[in-house]
Amino acid sequence: MAGFEQLTNIEDAKRAAGQYVLRKGSFVICLKENEQVIGLVELYERGMDERSGLLKTKEIGFLLDQDFEGNGYMTEALNLIIKDAFENEEQVEIWAGTFENNERSQKLLSRLGFRYVYNVDYGQVTNLFSFKEKYYLLKKEEWLKIVSNTKS
């Protein structure tokens, strides 16, 4: 998840998971067989200005323990949260940001129907950060086409 602190030990990971799961729209990803936490997924507000339409758009963030990459866990989790956002939360678009060099997450977003829109160099915006992000967008009407094509 772009902007998420890098965790280097289990205690920090448990603390971070505990903080995120308390927020509405945040979920831990667990293995079915033993409930081991392997990741996080979060759907959060992009803004609360009703006139701008931001109440109908969210941003999705996600991270997965590297030991569990390539097994489809994140694809499954993101599909569930995207489906809920579009079908039950009345969202019209979902955004996602990745670190500029996070090709694995970028490919995952593309497979799910997200399209690349723009880059942000946070070092140009503030002295607090020095990273760059790529932003991707999935619109509800595009997602509906993807879903209808996979059912046929």
Domain boundaries, the chain: 10-151
CA 105 to chain centre: 9
Answer yes or no: is pLDDT of 35 > 70: yes
Which of 96, 100, 99 minimizes the C-alpha distance to 78?
Answer: 96
Q: Among all chains, which residue has been given the structure tokens 């959060």?
A: 44
CATH architecture of the domain with range 10-151: 3-Layer(aba) Sandwich (3.40)
Cα–Cα distance for residue pair 139/152, rounded to 1 Å? 21
Answer yes or no: is pLDDT of 53 > 90: no
Q: 1 pLDDT band (50/70/90 cuts)?
A: very low
Could you tell me if 144 and 120 are in contact, meaning their C-beta atoms sit under 8 angstroms apart? no
pLDDT at 20: 66
Of residues 28 and 117, more confidently modeled: 117
Hey, is 70 helix, strand or coil?
coil
Average pLDDT over the chain, rounded to an integer: 86
Q: Is the dihedral of CA 20, 22, 26, 31 positive or negative?
A: positive
Hey, is 28 helix, strand or coil?
strand
Q: Among all chains, which residue has been given the structure tokens 């969210």?
A: 58
Which of 87, 109, 85, 88 minimizes the C-alpha distance to 97?
Answer: 109
- Residue 103 backbone phi and psi in degrees, to 5: -65, -35
Could you tell me if 96 and 60 are in contact, meaning their C-beta atoms sit under 8 angstroms apart? yes
